[in-house]
Structure 1
Amino acid sequence: MLEKARYIVVEGPIGAGKTTLAKRLADRLSADLLLENPAANPFLGRFYQNMERWGLPTQIAFLFQRSEQLASFNHEHNPQRRVVSDFLIDKDPLFAELTLAEDELHLYRQLYARLKPTVRKPDLVIYLQAQPEVLVERVRKRGVESERKLSEAYVERVAKRYADFFHHYDAAPLFIVNAESLNPVDKAEDFELLYSRLLAMRSYREFFGYAG
């Protein structure tokens, strides 16, 4: 699966390590990187302090950013080059449904329908899972100022939404990683194990790092 994959996406809730893993994987594969840029969202810090007030502008800003990135990628990227990304735009509504009031969600869905670019589906999606307390610990450890007031309750809701989303996801081959029992982000030996399992992947949906 991995050897033939040209467009690979690494996904997961905040703190799961998707960006770091995407970078390590792109480096190993000599692939291009397509990364989201949360620091460029002017509303994100305020959102973490007051989600009800800043949910809609934060969501719209991310939608514009990711849509423009993917549109540019479609236009400019050399199709002969492999690419690893740390976001899947199909999951964007997940956050809107989690934080927006009904009327705001209706507006967001209209914008999403208009702005979502037509992109080819990934050849492989890697989904990192971890318990909320583990995610919060990792977020605190990296010390990003805008994330300082992020609550465990919010991270728990996000993690549950991700789990629900990928439970039903079937648009591309899916490799689900338990990022607690194995840590391919911080441990070189776990990354090598992950990489070898990706090379051996043959099924449409596989699990890595789960007991039994």
Structure 2
Amino acid sequence: MEGENKAVIVLAGMIGAGKSTYTKFISDALGSEPFYESVDDNRILEKFYENPERWAFSLQIYFLNTRFRSIKEAFKHENNVLDRSIYEDALFTRINYEEGNMSDAEMDTYLDLLDNMMEELDNMPKKSPDLLIYLRGSLDTVLNRIEKRGRTFEQIDGNKGLLDYYTHLHGQYDGWFNEYDKSETLIIDINQYDLEKLEDAEKVINMVTEKLAEVRNKASIK
């Protein structure tokens, strides 16, 4: 992708939806730079799963900071794919608040900081992604993928509280997506497509390139 073909694409979707896999696939296909959310460098994530009430606020601040840094870099380069963006952070924080993992004061502090950061993004030359891709799938599909990737702290066996958290989060994602208005969007049904199958992979990249062409055409008309 060169010149006018540059694009900032962000992936959105449930834990376990396959965002990192899709990020690599799409960035490789388009010749752009991938930005990944690092789990190995996150010293808080596993602690959160062990004790959500103690670590939810710290985790959300950590994510907000790292995603703010990533999207600033992405807007500067203008030719990349992010496996998760700052736009979903408020959803995860609200779920933690509704689950009783965060206090009113913590929620207010988080939202104030988020608003401050979003104002900073509004002052950048590029203010939003070109495309957000929502990886949408059933809760069963997501849970199967979480089990398959094998991170011990993410597993629901013997942990009804974690299953309730996943169920609550999954139930709110469509509502979040319907309210998202920062860029053009594309839904990919992860129940239907499997990137390990060549035919499905070709269909997915065709969907992405066709949507990007549509986005660029709209931009050229304005």
Q: By the TM > 0.5 criterion, same fold?
A: yes
2:93 to 81, 93, 96: 96
What is the aligned-residue RMSD (CA, Å)?
A: 2.2
Alignment check: 8 A CA contact 2:12 2:88 kept: no
Which TM-score applies when normalising by structure 1?
Answer: 0.83
Deviation at 1:73, TM superposition (A): 4.1
Deviations 1:134-182 (A, max 9, x none): 1111111101233235733212222222211111223211111111122
Corresponding residue SS for 1:36:
coil
1:188 to 198, 204, 209: 198
**Which letter maps to 2:183?**
A
Please give the residue correspondences for 1:117-136 in structure 2 after superposition, counting only pairs within 5 Å. Answer: 117-118=120-121, 120-136=127-143
Instruction: Output the CA distance in 2 between the equivalents of 1:164 and 1:5.
Output: 30
2:100 aligns with: none
Deviations 1:2-32 (A, max 9, x none): x946111121111110111010110011111
Alignment check: 8 A CA contact 2:9 2:82 kept: yes
Percent identity of paired positions between Structure 1 and Structure 2: 29
Alignment check: 8 A CA contact 1:125 1:172 kept: yes
Deviation at 1:67, TM superposition (A): 1.7
- Give unmatched runs, 5+ long, in structure 1: 205-212
1:13 aligns with: 14
Please give the residue correspondences for 1:12-31 in structure 2 after superposition, counting only pairs within 5 Å. Answer: 12-31=13-32
Alignment check: 8 A CA contact 1:5 1:123 kept: no
Which TM-score applies when normalising by structure 2?
Answer: 0.79
Residues 174 and 71 of structure 1: CA distance in aligned 2, closer, same or farther (over 3 Å): closer
Q: Which has the higher helix share?
A: 2
2:81 to 80, 84, 101: 84
- Give unmatched runs, 5+ long, in structure 2: 98-102, 216-222
1:107 to 95, 99, 109: 109
Q: Matched residue pairs, number?
A: 197
Alignment check: 8 A CA contact 1:5 1:124 kept: no
Corresponding residue SS for 1:40:
coil
